Amino acid sequence: MVLENDCDSVFNPQITEHVETQYGNLHCIMSGTPKANHPVILTFHDVGLNYKSCFESLFNHQDMQEINRHFPVCHIEAPGQHEAAKTLPAAYTYPSMDQLSEALASVLKHFGFRSIIGLGVGAGAYILARFALNHPDLVDGLVLININPNAKGLMDTFANKITEWTQTLPDAVIANLFGKDEIQTNHDLIATYRHLITTTMNQSNVSQFFRSYNHRNALDVERPIPGGNINVRTLKCAALLIVGDNSPAVDVVVDCNSKLNPTTTTLLKMADCGGLPQVDQPAKVIEAFKYFIQGMGYLSSASMTRLRSRTTSSSSLMSLDGPRSRAHTNELQRGQIHSRGNEEKRVRSHTDVSMDSISSMNQSVSKATEVAC
CATH code of the domain covering residue 33: 3.40.50.1820
Residue 29 in any domain: the answer is: yes
| Res 14: pLDDT | 81
- How sure is the predictor about 357, in pLDDT bands with cuts at 50, 70 and 90? low
- The closest alpha carbon to 310, from 283, 277, 334, belongs to 334
CB 105 within 8 A of CB 136: no
Residue 287 in any domain: the answer is: yes
- How sure is the predictor about 27, in pLDDT bands with cuts at 50, 70 and 90? very high
Residue 122 in any domain: the answer is: yes
Per 3-state DSSP, the chain is made up of helix, strand and coil in percentages (nearest 5) of 35, 20, 45
- Backbone φ, ψ for residue 361 (5° rounding): -65, -30
- Whether the pTM exceeds 0.75: the reply is yes
Query: What distances in angstroms separate CA 176 from CA 120, 122, 123, 274, 310, one per listed residue?
Result: 15, 9, 10, 12, 28
Q: Say which amino acid occupies 155.
A: M
- How sure is the predictor about 274, in pLDDT bands with cuts at 50, 70 and 90? very high
Arithmetic mean of pLDDT over the chain: 80
CA-to-CA distance for 365 and 371, rounded, in angstroms?
Answer: 15
Q: Which residues contact 299 (CB under 8 A, 6 or more apart)?
A: 66, 67, 70, 290, 293
At 77 the three-state DSSP class reads strand
Residue 279 in any domain: the answer is: yes
Residue 350 in any domain: the answer is: no
| Res 159: pLDDT | 59
| Res 167: pLDDT | 77
Structural domains counted in the chain: 1
Mean pLDDT of 200-227: 92
- How sure is the predictor about 9, in pLDDT bands with cuts at 50, 70 and 90? very low
DSSP 3-44: EE--TT-TT-SEEEEEEEETTEEEEEEEES---TTSPEEEEE
For 116, the domain range is 14-296
| Res 345: pLDDT | 36
Residue 320 in any domain: the answer is: no
Checking 227-233 for CB contacts under 8 A at 24+ apart, the result is 233/133
CB 294 within 8 A of CB 74: no
pLDDT at 311 over 50: no
| Res 326: pLDDT | 31
CA-to-CA distance for 336 and 370, rounded, in angstroms?
Answer: 10
More confident residue, 216 or 349: 216
Burial degree of 37 (CB within 10 A; 0-12, 13-18, 19+):
exposed
More confident residue, 330 or 157: 157
- How sure is the predictor about 241, in pLDDT bands with cuts at 50, 70 and 90? very high
More confident residue, 12 or 373: 373
CA-to-CA distance for 62 and 49, rounded, in angstroms?
Answer: 22
| Res 285: pLDDT | 97
CA angle at residue 251 from 53 to 168, to 5 degrees? Answer: 45
| Res 101: pLDDT | 98
